[in-house]
Amino acid sequence: MTNPEAATALEKARPMQQDDVRLFTALWPDERLRARLGRERDRWRWPPAARPVDDARLHMTLHFIGAFARSRTAALESALEALPIAPAILRALGPELWPGGIAVLRFSAAPALAELHASIGAALQAFGVALDARPFAPHVTLARRARGATPPARPVDLEWHTSAFALVESVPGAQASYRVLRSFGAG
């Protein structure tokens, strides 16, 4: 799935500075879809070490940005606001257990989503953000440390209608959380 010699954004990301925020862009589900994603997560059988993702944190990452100067966030928001966003319908392809014990729900790569991913990537590169070298694989992470988990046997019937994305801050701490800084488009 990935080229082990290719440098990823995580490997190239600059270290956090005092004025930095930790950012990413994502498709952010509405409450109804988030509840549905939570039900799909709950259909799995998890080993004791698994760490299922809380409902409030379920999302589809488009680009991981990492450490970013807080003082440049408004300029980044302006650049993201200028991007065209076409409506997309994403269909769940099914559950998968990825290397490293990451349990995901994979989604189709609709052309509009691929275009959005590319345009956000170009905007981020203009800000000096290193992009992940791996191909984009649309998914929602359902759990980490999930080696040995058993995915549900019956197929997933789920569609995600979207015409928006979000700039999200990952807030560190004992109860780390995500905070949507701004949404772009008509969700």
Q: What is the pTM of this model?
A: 0.88
CA pair distance 25, 166, nearest whole angstrom: 6
CA pair distance 152, 38, nearest whole angstrom: 13
pLDDT of 27 higher than 60: yes
CA pair distance 41, 173, nearest whole angstrom: 24
Give 74-92 pLDDT, tens digit per residue: 999 999 999 999 999 999 9
Give 65-74 pLDDT, tens digit per residue: 999 999 999 9
For the residues 164-181, what does the mean pLDDT come to? 87
pLDDT of 58 higher than 60: yes
Question: What is the reported pLDDT for 16?
Answer: 64
Domains in the chain (CATH in brackets) are: 9-185 (3.90.1140.10)
